[in-house]
Structure 1
Amino acid sequence: MNHSFVFPFRSALLIWIPVALFFFGNRLVSQTWLYPETIQPTIPLLNDIARKGEGFLSSMTFWGEFGQYIVERDRDHRWVVSLGGNAELFRSGMWDLNFETNVHLVVDPNNNITFNPRAFIWEEGIVLGLKNGSQVWNFGYLHRCKHDVDNLELLRTSKREEERALIYGSIFARWTKKAMRFKGWDVEPLAAVHVYVIVQDQRFPIYTRKLAPSVQSFQGALRGRITASKILSRVYRMGATVDIRITTLGPLEEASRFSSIERIQVNPACEIFWDFLGKAAALRVFLRYTYDPDNFIAPQPRKSSLMALGLRLLNIP
């Protein structure tokens, strides 16, 4: 079968416009935040093809990605390593119950092989889904934690004793809509609101615990995402995602955390991608840009301005 096609240069150029805007426009944003939610949400109720009948474990989705940061403004990042998935535990009619998870390994170049695992960020959530026509509402709880890895390497090479452990969990509501057609593109919107109910930011040395920003002052977050994709042939698809997150932070003291808003942080991120479509899975080549003033690694908050080039493998339910 012949899968040849004419490359759509005009469409490809249009995809780069939001990337350029976010790459240079982020310099105008004084406060951002990278990790209110890094899970790549999958919404089984929007996928009628995935449905093999109601009941237990009606669908599952997995994905993994690996790549390298080609633009890095710190010494805390070099490689992209992530795994995640969604299990539709039960479906009945217009509702389902899901378990979704993601593990992100932070790898820096600070050893003799330039591959030094520094920390991992774990996310897992239990999510109830309700479908109304072409829309799906999700409600649930998302647990997140960050733990250091190989701290002995840091002590051996720089004589620094550092540690930072994070726990931050939120109840949330999420809305999405089945992809809409717009001038030949499939456009899928997503919006979410989070309220943080568990927050811990343990740091060593102890004096760093008062340094802002701190997860311990998280109040809530808003997220908006738009993904536009276009199928070029039976085996090729291209697209782009723009993701904006807004987080409010209050006082550091737990008892007064919601008494006032001390800081508002906005995180813009964007990604362009090219998919190679198979019968059961897709291989995605992606270019992603993010910026953050606190990368969650060191006890003293440090900025990260990162562009990653990598591969993501995801199954098609």
Structure 2
Amino acid sequence: MATAFGSVFMPEMSITWFDGSSWSAVEMVPSDSISMHPGAHVLHYSSTCFEGLKAFRHEDGSVKIFRIDRNVSRMAQSARLLALPELDEEFMTKMILDTVTRFKSDVPAPPGSMYIRPTLFGTEPAIGKAAAPSETACFYVLLSPVGDYFAGGDRALRLLVDDQGLRCAPHNGMIKSGGNYASALLPTMRAKEKYNVDQVLFCPNGDVQETGAANFLLIDGDEVITRDLDESFLHGVTRDSVLQIARDNGLKVSERRLTVEELLERAAKPGCEAALSGTAAVLAPVGTLVYGDKEYTVGDGGIGETTLKLRKALNDIQWGKAEDKHGWLTDV
């Protein structure tokens, strides 16, 4: 049986603790457990955020991390928005680089990579602080060597278009927090059972936003359409990278409001494509939309040519097969 994506970990992780005034010296510790008080703030009030980024092995044996600056910046932003103890971006960057360096020889060759999961959470043992932040915290960097996300077979996904529900509280959308993923879990499970879909595309009040775990893009001919950024949904690093590559390839990028009505109308056109963007899959094709108990085929229902082209272009940069024109790669 194949190992589930992200379920294998390196034997050690780096960790530091905030005592209310300063962060402790970074240590390497076994990654199979962590000790905290049962009254820890995170266990009761979800004071936690994380990031997901990858390190890639190039043909010459070197290892590069993709867009570490953007992930670190977003992590610092999430910490601020959750009122968690501040994390210095240089400190985080060094901790990530040092951790990956320690396990540099274990970074898989293409199409694999080393998934990097920096995580921050509130540790203060205080169950009376439902309306107050944790004064203490823990930050660690966990590594997971992963294989090809599409090893089980690349296929076009099915999405339920939900114009009533919310993925998460709108003012928390741009925070990469576990609570946001948890709030989308039950609607997704119900949709899978009832409609045999892979994900739910949340479109509150008919405004197309994102799924529970990925940003959404519609590709209509030479135009890529996706929701313009605000605080209601996650500002994906992969999303930003794909849009830049689309511009580099002469495609028109429209970051704007997209209604469910326009989505279904455009999706039915020959040659139209849709995709989900995220760190794990880069771009996953969407072939069917389910709305109001009716199915709508996106284009021909298969894997779109432009989707594959954009995904390959991004993978080629990550694996060192194409020029890194935007300075996205950092040496380990």
Identify the TM-score tier after normalising by the shorter chain.
Answer: under 0.3
Query: What is the TM-score normalised by the length of structure 1?
Result: 0.24
Query: What is the TM-score normalised by the length of structure 2?
Result: 0.24
Which has the larger helix fraction?
2
